[in-house]
């Protein structure tokens, strides 16, 4: 950074994180970068869009051109220092003549994990940070989870009434939550690589499993169906989007890809998640129904829950969120509530298992 020139690092980092959130390049991380000239003015910005394409740092440097020399880069995630599908970002930063790099968070990928920062410092570049690790991770939780555990981040979502029911006895559930909450679900879909439902949900609700927001042109998650032994309806909306269908036995499907993963009592859910991970899908959103949700929960495969509690009461005997037995308090599991938000007349509750 030029002596005597100061920048609002927090404000520029906020911009970089915002740029990162506009794309979903999994299995690579979401990254945004801003280049400031020697006077502290923005001259280039960019985000990483997809694996194999330029990283955010390179996009921003190309936009800045020769004016980047002597300037500052503000980047949400530590620059990489290894050869992959693209060259190391550290080399591009050094060659551009950047004098200062402000880093939001260190990369949990063991191929990076501090090495990028060390390379820059070794080249005489001032490195500031990490200054926004919680915010950066919040913008891309699936990437951080996957790099730390080797597993996709599985989020289980449902909507329920105040008395804990997700559907009426006849299976109908539209609508338990309000319009604001339903829009939030579409934002949740946009932040994940796949949306998973069971066969019962396909039959009862015929969901499209896509993102429908005004003006939205970003990521559309891949639809995934966990099928049972019964045939799936041939006219379901999901077939228009080439879903991945997991089944314990070979079945006929009109479109998409069938993957047979036979377990002890139906579909091997752990094998299905492993297959999704092998395709680069590390953010998995499960939208039901109760049978699939209960099976995933019982197998210990759920990492997060997002519950929308609508301001409505069903009464009587409807359907509950998770199928299974709750015989005694010894069967109960703890969830750490991480956030509560009021969306119109619906309460959104987020929790970590």
Q: 27 pLDDT exceeds 50?
A: yes
DSSP 162-214: TTS-SB-TTS--TTSS-HHHHHHHHHHHHTSSEEEEEHHHHHHH----S---T
Which pLDDT belongs to residue 317?
77
Lowest mean pLDDT among 78-82, 133-137, 152-156, 316-320: 316-320
Say whether 352 is catalytic: no
pLDDT tens readout for residues 161-173? 999 999 888 878 8
Which pLDDT belongs to residue 130?
96
Which pLDDT belongs to residue 168?
85
Stronger pLDDT, 230 or 244, i.e. the higher one:
244
Stronger pLDDT, 217 or 344, i.e. the higher one:
344
Q: Pick the catalytic residue: 57, 62, 257, 352?
A: 57
Closest to 189 in 3D by CA, of 308, 284, 51: 284
Q: 37 pLDDT exceeds 80?
A: yes
pLDDT tens readout for residues 259-291? 999 888 899 999 999 999 999 999 999 998 899
Q: 241 pLDDT exceeds 80?
A: yes
Which pLDDT belongs to residue 4?
45
DSSP 111-138: TTTTHHHHHHHHTT-EEE----HHHHHH
Instruction: Please enumerate in sequence order all residues whose Cβ is within 8 A of that of 78, keeping only pairs 6 or more positions apart, or say none.
Output: 103, 105, 106, 107, 112, 113, 114, 116, 117, 130
Q: 233 pLDDT exceeds 90?
A: yes
pTM over the 0.75 mark: yes
Q: 158 pLDDT exceeds 90?
A: yes
Domains of the chain from N-terminus onward: 9-141 (3.40.140.10), 151-352 (3.40.430.10)
Mean confidence (pLDDT) of the chain: 94
pLDDT tens readout for residues 76-124? 999 999 777 778 999 999 999 999 999 999 999 988 889 999 999 999 9
């Amino acid at each position: 950074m030029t002596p005597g020139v100061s920048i609002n690092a927090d404000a520029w980092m906020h911009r970089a994180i915002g740029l990162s959130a506009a794309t979903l390049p999994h299995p690579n991380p979401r990254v945004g970068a801003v280049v400031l000239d020697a006077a502290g003015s923005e001259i280039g910005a960019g985000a990483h869009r997809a694996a194999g394409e330029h990283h955010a740092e390179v996009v921003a440097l190309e936009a800045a051109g020769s004016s980047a020399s002597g300037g500052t880069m503000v980047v949400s995630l530590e620059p990489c220092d290894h050869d992959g599908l693209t060259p190391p970002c550290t080399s591009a930063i050094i060659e551009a003549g950047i004098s200062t790099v402000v880093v939001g968070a260190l990369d949990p990928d063991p191929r990076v994990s501090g090495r990028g920062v060390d390379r820059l410092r070794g080249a005489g570049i001032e490195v500031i940070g990490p200054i926004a690790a919680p915010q950066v991770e919040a913008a891309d939780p699936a990437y951080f989870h996957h790099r730390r555990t080797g597993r996709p981040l599985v989020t289980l979502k449902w909507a329920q009434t105040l008395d804990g029911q997700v559907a009426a006895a006849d299976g109908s559930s539209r609508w338990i939550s309000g319009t604001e909450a339903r829009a939030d679900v579409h934002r949740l879909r946009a932040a994940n690589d796949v949306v998973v439902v069971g066969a019962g949900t396909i039959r009862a609700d015929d969901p499209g499993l896509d993102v429908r927001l005004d003006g939205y042109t970003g990521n559309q998650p891949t639809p995934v169906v966990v099928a049972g032994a019964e045939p799936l309806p041939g006219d379901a909306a999901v077939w228009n989007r080439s879903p991945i269908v997991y089944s314990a036995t070979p079945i006929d499907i009109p479109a998409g890809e069938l993957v047979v993963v036979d377990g002890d009592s139906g579909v091997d859910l752990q094998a299905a998640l492993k297959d999704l991970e092998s395709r680069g899908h590390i953010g998995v959103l499960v939208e039901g129904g109760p049978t699939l949700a209960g099976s995933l929960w019982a197998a210990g495969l759920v990492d997060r829950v997002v519950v929308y509690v609508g301001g409505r009461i069903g009464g009587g005997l409807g359907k509950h969120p998770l199928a299974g037995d709750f015989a005694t308090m010894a069967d109960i599991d703890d969830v750490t509530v991480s956030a509560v938000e009021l969306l119109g007349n619906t309460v959104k509750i987020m929790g970590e298992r």
